[in-house]
Structure 1
Amino acid sequence: MAQIDYFLATASPWCYLAGDRLERIAERHGATIAYRPLDMPQLFGRTGGLPLPQRHESRQDYRLQELTRWSAHLEMPLTLRPAHFPVNMAPSSYAVIAAQAEGGDVAGLVRAFLRAVWAEERDIADDATIREILSATGHDPALADRGLFTGAEQYGRNLEDAVAAGVFGVPFYIVRETGQKFWGQDRLDFLDAHLASL
């Protein structure tokens, strides 16, 4: 059984646009997914990328066009300039890490945080919002507190592991058994084909 390390950021529009395609691919091939939320700005700084505000205007303009195209193509509502972006991703990431440790619908939780930013314009750094999303996805809202310490530790480890593994953006998928890497929601078809070949 293949395992996919899914490096993500809980406020990335590209992770949002991935929807549930990764989960459907994994289910089709009997693969498991390890959700690895990380600090995206720090990842850029460690791997030669630039945070969005520091990118050249032409890159920022193209990003908006691509987001518009992909949102329409995938029929997923997306606010180009949401009210709470950029946002501190650490609290929601800690919640994902804690939920994964305790079990339950981690995929739904991740998607709910992403949807909250890009389709609902909610603040995923707000404690009440995090608790509401945990509850709505079948998790104990107390995970927001209970998972703080271990979440913070794992969040830092996820960044270090990502850099060591060659991750430089999100969403980023690595098949552990083969070391094959796939960057971007637009590479999910290639991940699907790779898993089919194993």
Structure 2
Amino acid sequence: MKNPKYLLSLSCFLAVSLLSGCAASVKSGGGETLAIQESAKQNLVVNFKGNSKVQQNEDWPLLQRDWNEALQAEAARAGYSLTEVQTLSSGTKDGVGITINVSNFRYLTPGARVAAGIMVGNAWVNSSADFSDLKSGSLIGTRTYDTSSSAWEGVMSAMTKKQVQAIAQQIISDIKSAKTK
């Protein structure tokens, strides 16, 4: 007979493995190189926009909250300050405005995936970000950020929260690696 501690350890390991999920991958696009003053990178201001279909989605506030939290964490990790506003305004101080435009999304939680498996379908986010100079209001550049999961990955697939965390990481990385003006 097998050791009960061994079976308990194995069960816990499997449960944690199944619930942790795989990392999300982001498809990013945008041709122009971003050029941002180093001092402007310290002050990031974000706002979220969605088309009428997106805004009518009952999960829109949840998506915005998760995304804002992910951006806050990534910005702090990079040593930047980030605030969310309803409307970007120019002429204030040095900074980078980030307008995240969501064209479509499907919000799924890990709980839904565990409860219903592949029957709940895929999670995805289709978005773009317009980067602007807060002082002048001029557009610095635009990037697309799309991510999706496959129901066939089962409980290991990245659900929406992990997807917006991956997009937030890519956005902050794009700002961090922008060439200096």
> TM > 0.5 between the two?
no
Normalising by the residue count of structure 1, what TM-score does the alignment of the two structures yield?
Answer: 0.24
Considering only CA atoms, is the larger Rg found in Structure 1 or Structure 2? 2
Higher helix share: 1
Higher strand share: 2
Normalising by the residue count of structure 2, what TM-score does the alignment of the two structures yield?
Answer: 0.26
